[in-house]
Amino acid sequence: MLDQQLRARGIRDERVLTAMSRIPREEFVPARDREAAYWDGPIQIGYGQTISQPFMTALMAQVLGLAGHERVLEVGTGSGYAAAVLGELAAEVISVELVPELAQIARENLRHTGFGKNVMVILGDGSWGYPDLAPYQAISVAAGAPEIPSSLLEQLDDPGRLVIPVGPHQDQELRVLTKRGGRVESSVATLCSFVPLLGGQGWRQ
């Protein structure tokens, strides 16, 4: 995975590569799919959700440019794998999950693997962010939004960086928004296809 899926595609952040080499991805997928845990694609985890392709997890972490001191907001915990990766790269991760069953699964996965010490899993509508602990120096959204939620931009620190898939249900752009000096700059990291961001500032359920 590290050599063929990540390094070969341009993942150069050694902190990201080290984190993903340490975290047992097989512990974050359903038992029936453990043999496919490191394959080059997303895996269904139930409730209409997936664990993202390893490359996408690595790319999203890399574009955030984390140095280790940040408080990170993650929208869409899923099984907890990306939260574990972010937890290795930042000081604190607040991860918001809409599906109660997945929030519980993620908490258990993070607990028993030992990668949840600085990760808090919150049950709620992540499209609104989590204003109680804002601002965040980095925000990662693991679901496709029809447009960038204003609530997330408001909770992004200055300076800060937000990565989010934006576009219709099947085809999105992975947007990287950088807030600096009161201005927001936007770029596209790649094309992608994520499950929809459901909620008050996403797609209707």
Residues with catalytic roles = 52
Pairing between β-strand 172-180 and β-strand 183-192 as defined by DSSP bridges: antiparallel
What φ, ψ does residue 184 adopt, rounded to 5°? -120, 120
Residue 13, token pair as written in the block = 């952040």
| C-alpha to C-alpha distance for 84 and 32, rounded to whole angstroms | 21
Interatomic CA distance for residues 47 and 205, integer angstroms: 13
φ, ψ of residue 79 to 5 degrees: the values are -85, -5
Q: Which residues pair with 121 in a beta bridge?
A: 95
